[in-house]
Amino acid sequence: MTRLLHVEFFKLRKRMMTWVVGILLIALVILLYTVLWSISGRVSHFGEHNQFSAEDLRRALFLQGSVPFALEIAGSFGTILAIILAAGAVGSEYAWGTVRLMATASSGRVRLLLAKLAVIFALTAFGVLLAVLVAVAYSAIITYANGGSDYSFVTASFVRGEFAAFGRTLFVMAPYISLGFAAAVIGRSTLAGAAAGIGTAFIEPLVTGLMRAGGSPWKDIPNYLLNANVDVISAQNALPAALPRFGASRADLIGQNVNSLEGATLVLILYIVGFVALALFAYRRRDITAGA
């Protein structure tokens, strides 16, 4: 298995797409920080409900809020990029015909696919960490430049909370990555994986919104889908109120009939396991021919 992890890492590390995806995520963090800082004196609300003062937004961009904000970006745009990475890692093997090369050089199809998925998750985690580090660095500059160098907030519980937020973010990305991965394996193409993963990430919130508005029997169905459960978990991240949030906040979820934290976790785990099992089942049984 170590050999397969090594070779998958070797291939993805050498591939331009991996670097492009990483650079895009970092660029997005820098761009959002720059834009928010530049408008922080002029904007006092994002949407109807998120009202704040100019000082609120400035302080939100200081070090204390940098990790959750970077995770918010990674959990939304980063998920899209990770889906593309996962779908591309599988789909390209079919497009190039290298699926056969690796199938005859590796110690088993299931191991090969698991190694690929493990490396994709590892690179995703590394990308999210990189986004956090860039956000912290950028935020540190803003904080210093504006006399906010007070580190009393860095307590053991704060650090624990940030690590938990990091773990939660990776966890909510995992079902979408697994979906993109499985769809790429089953569809034998990058496009199939990217379309399934990104399509679900974009369209599901719209559909679940309609279901909630539709009342019984529709309103409970979203609790068994991805987005509502992702919101339950992501809302635990302590993002400063003034910063734009791409999913639901804790306040948004109050009064809604959503799953408990444990229930949401269980549903997402079932999805992750289901998607991965589907990919393994399809790949294990399938003939690997010239047309892939």
Partner 1 sequence: MEQREILRTEGLWKRYGSLTAVADMNLRVHSNEVFSFLGPNGSGKSTTVGMMLGLVRPTKGRALIFGDDMATRPWPVLKRIGAVIESPAFYPYLSGYDNLRAVAIALGDIPDARIDQMIELVGLRERARDPYKNYSLGMKQRLGIASTLLRNPDLVILDEPTNGLDPAGTREVRELVPRLAREGHSVFLCSHLLHEVQAVSDRVAIVKQGRLVAEGTVDELLGRGQYLRLRADDNEALARALGGIDWVRGVDRLDGYLRASAPVARAAELNRVLAMQGVYVAELSPWETELESVFLDLTGEESPA
50 touching partner 1, by CB under 8 A: no
1 touching partner 1, by CB under 8 A: no
Scanning the structure block, which residue is given the tokens 């909630």? Answer: 212
Residue 117 beta carbon to partner 1: minimum distance, rounded to whole angstroms: 16
Tell me the C-alpha distance between 258 and 218, whole Å. Answer: 13
Binding residue (CB under 8 A) for partner 1 from 15, 136, 140, 249: 15
Binding residue (CB under 8 A) for partner 1 from 41, 108, 209, 214: 108
101 touching partner 1, by CB under 8 A: yes
Stretch of 52-60, 149-157, 250-258, 282-290 lying at the interface with partner 1 (CB under 8 A)? 282-290
Residue 143 beta carbon to partner 1: minimum distance, rounded to whole angstroms: 40
Counting Cα atoms < 13 Å in the Cβ hemisphere of 10 gives 6
Task: Decide: helix, strand or coil at residue 46.
Answer: strand
124 touching partner 1, by CB under 8 A: no
Task: Decide: helix, strand or coil at residue 45.
Answer: strand
* Count of positions on this chain that bind partner 1 (CB under 8 A): 26
282 touching partner 1, by CB under 8 A: no
Nearest residue (CB) to partner 1, 6 versus 49? 6
219 touching partner 1, by CB under 8 A: no
- Contact in structure between 213 and 225 (CB atoms under 8 Å): no
Residue 8 beta carbon to partner 1: minimum distance, rounded to whole angstroms: 9
Tell me the C-alpha distance between 125 and 119, whole Å. Answer: 10
DSSP-assigned letter for residue 247:
S
Q: Where are the alpha helices (DSSP H) in 50-148?
A: 54-60, 66-73, 79-96, 98-105, 109-145
135 Cβ neighbours under 8 A, 6+ residues apart: 29, 33, 66, 67, 69, 70, 73
Nearest residue (CB) to partner 1, 15 versus 250? 15
Nearest residue (CB) to partner 1, 4 versus 36? 4
Binding residue (CB under 8 A) for partner 1 from 51, 53, 107, 155: 107
Beta strand residue intervals within the chain, DSSP E: 45-46, 50-51
Stretch of 29-37, 203-211, 251-259, 283-291 lying at the interface with partner 1 (CB under 8 A)? 283-291
Q: Where are the alpha helices (DSSP H) in the chain?
A: 2-14, 16-39, 54-60, 66-73, 79-96, 98-105, 109-145, 156-187, 190-213, 226-234, 250-253, 261-285
> Which residue type occupies 112?
L
Stretch of 36-44, 81-89, 142-150, 281-289 lying at the interface with partner 1 (CB under 8 A)? 281-289
Which residues form the interface with partner 1 (CB under 8 A)? Answer: 3-4, 6-7, 10-11, 14-16, 96-98, 100-108, 285, 287-290
